[in-house]
Structure 1
Amino acid sequence: MADASQQRTVTAAFAPPPPLWKHFTRDKLDQLERIKDETAKGEDGSPNTNKNWTPEELRTLDLPAELRYLVPPEMPTSGQYSVFGELQSLSTTLPSLREQGIEQLYPDSPVADVSTDGPAGPSQPLNHAHYLLKISKSLLLNFLEFVGILSGSPEQFESKVEDMRNLFINAHHLLNLYRPHQARESLIMMMEEQLARSREEIKQMDKVKADIEGVLERLQTEGSHTATAQPSNASQLKEQDRKADSDSRLIWDLLDQEI
């Protein structure tokens, strides 16, 4: 009964959190902070609350057992981990189908060029699209054969289902071989978009700079003219103040539009 309950827990759609989450309480976090402050004392003996602790430095502290769960563990570099009851490898290298005990329906890369009658040419990269197309056609043919078997002898379906399963696995593996190329192209696209945004921001900044310089030059020209012609009455002074306020507001409006 216990084994059945454990199996249901492992294969659940949403696995329960690990029990160590119970150690992440406010009291224990405060206790860890006090230990860090006492350890990182300055030359005058006062606690150093500004020190940035790295995970490696935290692992060197002499902490109680209940506080060890609050320290990030070392990053694993090899081995396996479990996700919803299935073991996943930490290695980023895609294992071959033969390593997984599955029949491989396409040749390994590279293959020798034997298209001519003469001696074998240089090795050519594997044409993934060519073999994906062949596997797709084989899937259609096997599906038609599978329908025929179901209509005539349904009890003999297992072998044909296994053939279709093997074709799907080979097609999926061929697609996964494109993942490194996809990652590189995605990174290139992200960098190109970031570069385009930076260039557009620089262009907008140059435009704002040119607008502000034009306004400042106009203000300087008008200021020099105003300095030569002194206002004769209060109305002219009020008009100059109004124009100065209008020019200042114009500059701020330009900045607000672009920033």
Structure 2
Amino acid sequence: MAEGGQQRALNTAFAPPPPLWKHFSPGNVKKLEEIKKEASKSDDGKPRKKEWSPAELRSLTLPPELRFLVPPEIPSGNYSVFGEVQNLSTALPSLEEQGIHQLYPSPSKPGPNGEASAQPSQPLNHAYYLLKISKSLLLNFLEFVGILSIVPDQFESKIEDIRNLFINAHHLLNLYRPHQARESLILMMEEQLSRTREEIRQMDKLKEELTAVLDQLAAEGADVGSTLEMVTEDHQMVSKSEGHIAEDSQLVWDIIDGKVDG
């Protein structure tokens, strides 16, 4: 009975969190940190800084309530989420591999020894087949409405046709994902490059303005070098006077607090 309830929970669209979430409490996290700190001590008893990997944590002797805090191993191949098997491979499986009727031609596959196909295939025109599938969807929907108005009990075959059309259209769109990722990366790099060029242009503009001001001062007979030295000395004097004011203020507060004998 319990297994049946667990299976229903896994297949629910909005499944509840697994029961192990109750073990992720602040107290258990603190206990795990203390165990890691004790296990990382050297022979002389001094703690040493160490980053624990999940495999090293699994090698420790942990209480049952702390074992859920250790990250599981990285899955390989397939894994199950809410009762559905997911594949870790980034390659998009073909519709034929999933047992679905494909409505557009597939590119030719190489032979068993890697040789090229005898009949070279033309590049797949995604837009053309997406348009054809869209028109077929409209036609099949009209046929579906006609079936519901005449023989409603024979709707299942037409629903299956519409489902197959949607799956094919979705698969065609997914074939664009690598292209979309490349275009997004190109756009991001172009924006970054344009921002960098704008910053360089602003810096060049500021440099030209400063050069023009210095040339004007030199043309008027002003000693630019001595002027810069005077400005630097004035700045240092202001900084020193501010430091003395701060020291005097601190001394007054110390006298008020009784830290210094009056």
Q: Same fold (TM over 0.5)?
A: yes
Q: Report the CA distance between 1:178 and its aligned residue.
A: 1.3
Q: 2:157 & 2:45 partners in 1: Cα distance?
A: 77
Aligned to 2:186: 188
**Equivalenced residues, count:** 223
Decide whether the 8 Å contact of 1:23 with 1:70 is kept in 2: yes
- Kindly provide the amino acid, as one letter, of the partner of residue 181 in structure 1: H
Aligned to 1:92: 90
Deviates more, 1:60-69 or 1:97-106: 60-69
Q: Report the CA distance between 1:226 and its aligned residue.
A: 10
The one of 209, 226, 245 equivalent to 1:224 is 226
Decide whether the 8 Å contact of 2:108 with 2:120 is kept in 1: no
- Kindly provide the amino acid, as one letter, of the partner of residue 71 in structure 1: V
- Kindly provide the amino acid, as one letter, of the partner of residue 34 in structure 1: E
Aligned to 1:252: none
Aligned to 1:69: 68
Q: Report the CA distance between 1:40 and its aligned residue.
A: 2.2
Q: Report the CA distance between 1:106 and its aligned residue.
A: 1.4
* Distance change (3 Å), C-alpha of 1:9 and 1:148: same
Where in structure 1 are there 5+ consecutive unaligned residues? 112-119, 228-239, 249-259
Aligned to 2:107: 109
Q: 1:125 & 1:152 partners in 2: Cα distance?
A: 43
Equivalence map 1:207-246=2 (5 Å): 221=223, 224=226
Decide whether the 8 Å contact of 2:130 with 2:172 is kept in 1: yes
DSSP 3-state at the match of 2:86: strand
Q: Report the CA distance between 1:108 and its aligned residue.
A: 0.9
Identity %: 65
Decide whether the 8 Å contact of 1:80 with 1:89 is kept in 2: yes
DSSP 3-state at the match of 2:68: helix
Q: 2:63 & 2:105 partners in 1: Cα distance?
A: 57
Q: 2:134 & 2:227 partners in 1: Cα distance?
A: 82
DSSP 3-state at the match of 2:76: coil
Aligned to 1:33: 33
DSSP 3-state at the match of 2:155: helix
- Kindly provide the amino acid, as one letter, of the partner of residue 30 in structure 1: K
With normalisation by structure 2, the TM-score equals 0.66
Q: 1:54 & 1:164 partners in 2: Cα distance?
A: 49
* Distance change (3 Å), C-alpha of 1:155 and 1:216: same
Aligned to 1:47: 47
Does 2:84 correspond to 1:82?
no
Aligned to 1:254: none
Decide whether the 8 Å contact of 2:214 with 2:224 is kept in 1: no
Q: 2:2 & 2:56 partners in 1: Cα distance?
A: 41
* Cα deviation code 1:81-136 (max 9, x no counterpart): 213x433322222222222222111111149xxxxxxxx87432222212111212
The one of 146, 149, 164 equivalent to 1:148 is 146
Decide whether the 8 Å contact of 1:38 with 1:47 is kept in 2: yes
Decide whether the 8 Å contact of 1:79 with 1:90 is kept in 2: yes
With normalisation by structure 1, the TM-score equals 0.67
Q: 2:214 & 2:42 partners in 1: Cα distance?
A: 53
* Distance change (3 Å), C-alpha of 1:69 and 1:158: closer
DSSP 3-state at the match of 2:188: helix
Decide whether the 8 Å contact of 2:95 with 2:102 is kept in 1: yes
- Kindly provide the amino acid, as one letter, of the partner of residue 149 in structure 2: S
Decide whether the 8 Å contact of 1:110 with 1:125 is kept in 2: no
Where in structure 2 are there 5+ consecutive unaligned residues? 110-117, 239-262
Decide whether the 8 Å contact of 1:135 with 1:167 is kept in 2: yes
Q: Report the CA distance between 1:213 and its aligned residue.
A: 7.9
Decide whether the 8 Å contact of 1:110 with 1:124 is kept in 2: no
- Kindly provide the amino acid, as one letter, of the partner of residue 18 in structure 1: P
